[in-house]
Amino acid sequence: MKVGFIGLGIMGKPMSKNLIKAGYSLIVNDVNKAAVAELVALGAESAATAREVVERADVVITMLPNSPHVKQVALGENGIIEAGRPGLVYIDMSSIAPLVSKEVSAKLAEKGVEMLDAPVSGGEPKAIDGTLSIMVGGKQEVFDKYYDLLKVMGSSVVRTGDIGAGNTTKLANQIIVALNIAAMSEALVLGTKAGVEPELIYNAIRGGLAGSAVLDAKAPLVMDRKFNPGFRINLHIKDLANAIETAHDVGVPLPLTASVMEILQSLKVDGMGELDHGAIIRYYEKLAKIEVSR
């Protein structure tokens, strides 16, 4: 099986490397030529356009920033659709609006191309070690055929419904993650301001009902003042914007999500958009005039 991979950013590059390690033959494309060269040095082939990737691959994966980028690569000039053919499968692992996944899938279906939307959760560390959580929408038979391919990149690969369901699930995931980080931030800032060591708070609560994967991932980094991006604030803003838009389309109010969105927007205005979303705590620290650290 020849795999095309388009999008070699923070997530896509390590995911591609894991496919090569697993023995897949890879054709890669990205605007970042250094990232392409890095993959070529590991044994991948390069292609100048998405269309060229499709012409040489059996299945094509994209890992792109947002809906407009996916639409351009899939449906635009020199895009996937121009070389689309029956038997080709397109797996979009970007986090985008579910309605865009459905739109792209419908257009590609006219050329006989099957599609899965398969966004991921776990950030750069889990992309590197191949333990992402992958949420998939699409036909059961297509999912079954490419399950093993996806399993190379993730420890959890779950089909949640038809096309668009993967991205709907990812939006739910991003709401929970954002609210968890905000709740952790409020709690640790409160404890610190009240004179309790934040590390002791963390160790005391992590084994109880307040414990979570988010708490374990972010609290140690916050206390070490490490905000280099595993998942950027700007990308979480994008995901929550998609969540709010989708919610409005289906008639669901998201008051807590809207509140966290404004916190993220405030941090972006303060020049922190490229920091990890764990920097949500810096919003609360600014309000309370306190810093949470070991």
Catalytic sites, residue numbers: 170
Contacts of 255 (CB under 8 A, 6+ apart): none
153-164: b or e for each residue (b if 16 or more CB lie within 10 Å)? bbeebebbeebb
Q: Which residue has the tokens 């914007």?
A: 241
Contacts of 32 (CB under 8 A, 6+ apart): 8, 9
Nearest to 167 by CA among 103, 255, 218: 103
Phi, psi of 91 (to 5 degrees): -115, 110
Q: Distances from the Cα of 77 to the Cαs of 49, 72, 74, 81, in angstroms?
A: 9, 7, 9, 9
How far does Cα 18 stand from its chain's mean position? 17
Per-residue DSSP letter, 228: -
Q: Distances from the Cα of 39 to the Cαs of 44, 122, 227, in angstroms?
A: 6, 22, 27
DSSP-assigned states of every residue in 233-258: HHHHHHHHHHHHHHHHHHT---HHHH
Q: Give CA angle at 46 (109, 58), nearest 5°.
A: 30
Nearest to 92 by CA among 38, 170, 14: 170
How far does Cα 82 stand from its chain's mean position? 26
